[in-house]
């Protein structure tokens, strides 16, 4: 059975939106955010560039 998500992209979108909503409430960045952002930049280069511009 598939569970609650029809595909992997649906689950990824839900996680992204949950993190985005939480990030609005953060007073400061998470402890290892720089390392995480470096990894995201490698995996999602074109998306990060689009947001930064």
14 and 5 Cβ atoms separated by less than 8 Å: yes
Host H or E run for residue 50: helix 45-52
Assigned domain for 47 exists: yes
Assigned domain for 19 exists: no
**The token pair that represents 15 in the structure block:** 């996680």
Assigned domain for 34 exists: yes
Domain tally, the chain = 1
Assigned domain for 1 exists: no
Query: pTM here?
Result: 0.44
Q: Which of 16-20, 21-25, 29-33 has the lowest mean pLDDT?
A: 29-33
Confidence of residue 5 (pLDDT cuts 50, 70, 90): confident
For the cut 70, the answer to whether the pLDDT of residue 50 exceeds it is: yes
Whole domain around residue 37: which residue ranges?
Answer: 28-52
């Amino acid at each position: 059975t598939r569970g609650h998500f029809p595909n992997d992209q649906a689950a990824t979108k839900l996680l992204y939106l949950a993190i985005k909503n939480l990030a609005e409430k953060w007073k400061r960045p998470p402890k290892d955010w720089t390392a995480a952002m470096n990894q995201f930049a490698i995996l999602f280069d074109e998306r990060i560039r689009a947001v930064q511009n």
